[in-house]
Copies of this chain bind each other. A is one copy, B any other.
């Protein structure tokens, strides 16, 4: 079933590694409360999604994390550093997503691609579907913002990974299929922002599947 995105209130999941000295306040039967640092980061991601990076203040973030501004600034020297951490964490979640995809269809690149498309298509309807990297790239207009290099590195790595999956799927022109799918995915997500769920993104799955079918050169019928 490949349920990789689950656990939190908004369809995101957390990594247990790299959480600092005190990950949880207690190991009793109560709900595992995250450390203030993690609460701040996750609250920031949520509020950045909802109101935009420039549309939310550090006070509101600290408040939503049930923490305070001082603790926030003890962990992050600036709001920009917090933004960077949010982006890095989003990238790590995507890494886990791809690992789960590989586990679900070991060695079968074509199945991984199809599952990837299908999951994105299913996730398109959610109101928090849009890629944090993409939104940040549009909102961080300053070319020198430290978050931009995080976005850039993630996007480059993602492209390399998808190309590799296309190659393992036996696609002749792996780069072409990779970029086709990447453009369609980014387009579907951003089109949904401007045209809504009934816009061009409604046909994303159909279009992406056709691209895989056409460029993979396989005769197999999807699904």
Contacts and interface: CB of A to CB of B under 8 A. Distances in A.
Nearest to A175: B203
Interface in A98-148: 130, 133-135, 137-139, 141-142
B196 A152 contact: yes
A138 B135 contact: yes
Given A139-B138, A187-B186, A203-B176, A194 B55 contact: no
User: Within the oligomer, what is the number of copies of this chain?
Assistant: 2
Given A155-B194, A187-B190, A139 B179 contact: no
Contact of A186 (B180, B191, B223): B191
Contacts of A184: 180, 183-184, 187
Contact of A183 (B55, B151, B178, B204): B204
Contacts of A130: 138
Interface stretch (A37-45, A65-73, A206-214): A206-214
A99 to B, nearest CB: 22
Contacts of A194: 133-134, 137, 151-152, 155, 186
* Residue of A51, A137, A191 ringed by the most chain B CB atoms within 10 A: A191
